[in-house]
Copies of this chain bind each other. A is one copy, B any other.
Amino acid sequence: MSSRAGILITGTEVLTGIISDRNGPWLSERLREIGVDAAQIQIVGDRPDDLLAALEFMASQELSLIVTSGGLGPTADDLTAEIVGRFAGREMVLDPELEERIAEILRPMMKRWPGLDLEAIRASNRKQAVIPEGATVLEPVGTAPGLVVPPASGSGPTVVVLPGPPREMQPMWETARATDAFRAAIAGATTYRRGIVRLFGIPESEIANTLRAAEAEGLQLETLEITTCLRRGEIEIATRYEPPAQDDYDGLIAFIVQRHADTLFSQDGSTIDEQVAALLAGHTIAVAESCTGGMLAARLTDRGGSSAYFAGGVVAYSNEAKVALVRVDPDLIARFGAVSTEVAEALAVGAIERFAAGIGVGITGIAGPGGGTEEKPVGLVCFSVATSEGEKITRSVRLPGDRADIRDRATTVSMHLLRRLLRGEAKLPLPGPNDARGSAAAPPGSAGAEADAARS
C-alpha cells in the first residue's frame, strides 16, 4: 500500500511571503524516508475557515496522515490546535499538568527579562495547554507542545500537529514518529528505495533525451519514479522505486554512466560540497575572491570541522586589496584587467602563498548589475584553482542570471574545478558547449546557462 500524506503549513507571515517556508520541504523528505508520499503541501494564513477548509480538502483526497506546522504559539492568532480538534471531532480540554510543565519552561526565561509582565505571559501560554481530548501530547522543545490527533470517529486522517520554528519542529517530528497513534496511521506503508545521481555541465534537455533513448533501447523505466531538476547549476536525477525494481534502477544508472561519464560526478547521492570536503582531507586550502565577496569561503566553512582544511580567505574586492593583501602584480591588472584569467591565477597563487596553503582558489568576475562591457559582460567570471606544486585549472565562464545567481553559481563552478584538481584530473578536457569566445574545451559553468534556458 502506498500511504499518502498532506503537509499543512500555517501562518500569515509564511503565506504573505514575509518568511519562507523551510518546514514543508523538510517534512516531505522525512515522509518519503518512511515510505509516505507527500501528496500536497498547503500554506494557509491564520484564519480558522481557511485552516479547516484545507484539512477537509486533504481528508477528501483520502490522505492517511496530515502534518501541520505552526500556529501553536501563545498569541490569539495561533489556533491550529483548536481547529484540528474541531476537524477531528474532539473537545478541547485543559491539561493542568502540561500547563505546569510549560510554566516550568518559562520561569528561567522570565528571570532573564526582568521587565516583562509575568502574568500576561503566563496567561497567554496557558492557552498552549488546552488540547483536543484524547490527543497524544508531544513534549515542548520550546514552549509549545505538539500533538498527535487521531479522528474521533475512527475514520479519516490522523493529524500530527507540530510547532513552526524548525529547531522545535524537527526534534518533535522524531518524537511524533515514535507514538502509537502515528504508527497506526501509516501502518502498511511501502518502503521505497531512493537513488540520486548528479551531473554538472550538461543541459537538462539532454537528460530528457537520454531517458527517451533508454526506453527506446528497451530499458524498463515504468517501475521507476524519476524526477530531474536543476539545482544551483547542477542536474539532479532523483529516482524512487520499490525494492523489486532494483535491477531496473541499476540498468538506468549504467545507461547514464555510459552516456554521461564526463559530466556525471555523483552516483551515490553525495553533493559536490561533500565530495570536496572529503577530497580536502589532509590538504589545506585558501581562497582569494573578488565578485563572490566571501561566498566561496562561507561555502567551504559551512560544515563543522572545516577548520581542519580551511586555512583562510581574502575578499579582495578592490584592486588595492588584490595588490596589498594577495600581492597580485599591479602590472597584471593594468595589462589584462582585474577580471581576467591572469588575475584569477595570481589570486589563486597569492592565496596559497599568503596562507601557506596547499591549494588556492582565485575568483574574479562581474556580478552586475553594473560594470559590464561588451568585451567583459555581466556574468563573466574567471576562475583558477591551483596547488602549491604548480598544477592548476584556469577558466573563464559566462554565467547566467542576476547578481545573486551569478555569485552563487560561481561558487558551484569553483567547487567543481576544485574537485577535478583534487582528483588529479586537471589535464582532462572539460565537458560543455563550445563557448562564445572560441576556446576548444569550454567551461562547465556555461552549461548552466543552457540548462536554465531549456527548463520551464
Q: Could you list which residues of chain A lie within 8 angstroms of chain B, going by C-beta atoms?
A: 11-22, 24-29, 32, 38-45, 50, 53-54, 57, 61, 72-75, 78, 109, 112-114, 116-117, 120-121, 124, 128, 140, 142-144, 163-165, 167-168, 203, 205-206, 208-209, 212, 225, 227-231, 236, 238, 287, 289, 292-298, 300-302, 304-307, 310-318, 320-321, 324-325, 354-356, 367-370, 400-405, 407, 433-434, 436, 450, 452-456
Contacts and interface: CB of A to CB of B under 8 A. Distances in A.
Contact of A293 (B72, B310, B316): B310
Contacts of A61: 50, 53
A194 to B, nearest CB: 9
B142 A205 contact: no
A75 B227 CA distance: 11
15 contacts: A20-B22, A24-B43, A38-B45, A50-B61, A112-B433, A114-B433, A128-B456, A142-B453, A167-B405, A293-B298, A293-B306, A293-B313, A297-B297, A304-B370, A304-B403
Nearest to A77: B227
Contact of A231 (B19, B206, B305, B325): B19
A32 to B, nearest CB: 6
Q: How many copies does the complex hold?
A: 2
Rank and list the top 10 A-B pairs by shortest CB-CB distance, nearest first.
A144-B456, A294-B294, A294-B297, A293-B301, A17-B25, A312-B321, A313-B315, A13-B229, A41-B43, A294-B298
A117 B211 CA distance: 13
Nearest to A368: B304
A362 B115 CA distance: 32
Contacts of A54: 40
B317 A167 contact: no
A312 B316 contact: yes
